[in-house]
């Protein structure tokens, strides 16, 4: 059974300079996270968790593959969407995931303030800032991929 994907304007091609700016923002956010002492695997977990929340199949496939290449386990990836109910993740990882959920669900920021407070207990101010910027970056790419209907099909 073939799935029909709607044809939308690919905004990354229509305004390529803006897309390049999004890439630069994301790269700088990743560098800030690394400089703040956040491990490469955690950076990928944040991108995956945010993409799970937003339902972005393109980014999920991309960053899951990147995480596996960097040494992430299938077992941890399998439970990432239910991370609060597991003991797989360190306090730092839990704090970063909590903060990324807060930033992604910003429309409910007043009700979800405990997510931010939780994160601030275990992350330095530089780490809070870096996770916030990384989450802003991946949310941007989720929105670009979803509104542009990036194709996601099995690789041949």
- Give dist(CA 90, CA 96) in Å, integer: 10
Q: What is the pLDDT of residue 4?
A: 59
Is-contact 99 132, C-beta < 8 A? yes
- Give dist(CA 107, CA 110) in Å, integer: 8
pLDDT over 90 at 32, yes or no: yes
What tens digit of pLDDT does each residue of 67-115 get?
999 999 999 999 999 999 999 999 999 999 999 999 999 888 888 888 8
What tens digit of pLDDT does each residue of 124-153 get?
999 999 999 999 999 999 999 999 988 888
Q: What is the pLDDT of residue 44?
A: 98
Q: What is the pLDDT of residue 137?
A: 98
**What is the CB neighbour count within 10 angstroms for residue 16?**
11
- Give dist(CA 103, CA 75) in Å, integer: 26
Distance linking the first and last C-alpha atoms of the chain? 16
Query: What Å distances lie between residue 60 and 54, 63, 66, 127, 142, CA to CA?
Result: 10, 5, 10, 23, 9
Query: What Å distances lie between residue 46 and 10, 69, 98, CA to CA?
Result: 25, 16, 9
Is-contact 26 140, C-beta < 8 A? yes
The mean pLDDT of 20-31, rounded to a whole number, is 97
Q: How confident is the model at residue 6 (pLDDT cuts 50, 70, 90)?
A: low
- Give dist(CA 89, CA 121) in Å, integer: 16
């Amino acid at each position: 059974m073939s799935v029909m994907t709607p044809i939308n304007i690919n905004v990354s091609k229509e305004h390529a300079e803006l897309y390049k700016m999004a890439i630069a923002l994301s790269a700088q956010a990743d560098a800030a996270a690394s400089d703040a002492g956040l491990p490469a695997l955690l950076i990928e977990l944040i991108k995956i968790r945010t993409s799970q929340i937003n339902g972005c199949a393109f980014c999920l496939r991309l960053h899951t593959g990147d995480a596996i290449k960097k040494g992430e386990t299938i077992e941890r990836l399998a439970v990432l969407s239910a991370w609060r109910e597991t003991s797989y993740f360190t306090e730092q990882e839990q704090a970063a995931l909590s903060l990324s959920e807060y930033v992604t669900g910003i429309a409910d920021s007043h009700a979800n303030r405990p997510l931010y407070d939780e994160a601030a207990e275990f992350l330095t101010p530089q780490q809070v800032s870096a996770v916030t910027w990384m989450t802003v970056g991946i949310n941007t790419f989720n929105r670009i991929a979803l509104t542009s209907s990036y194709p996601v099909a099995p690789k041949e």
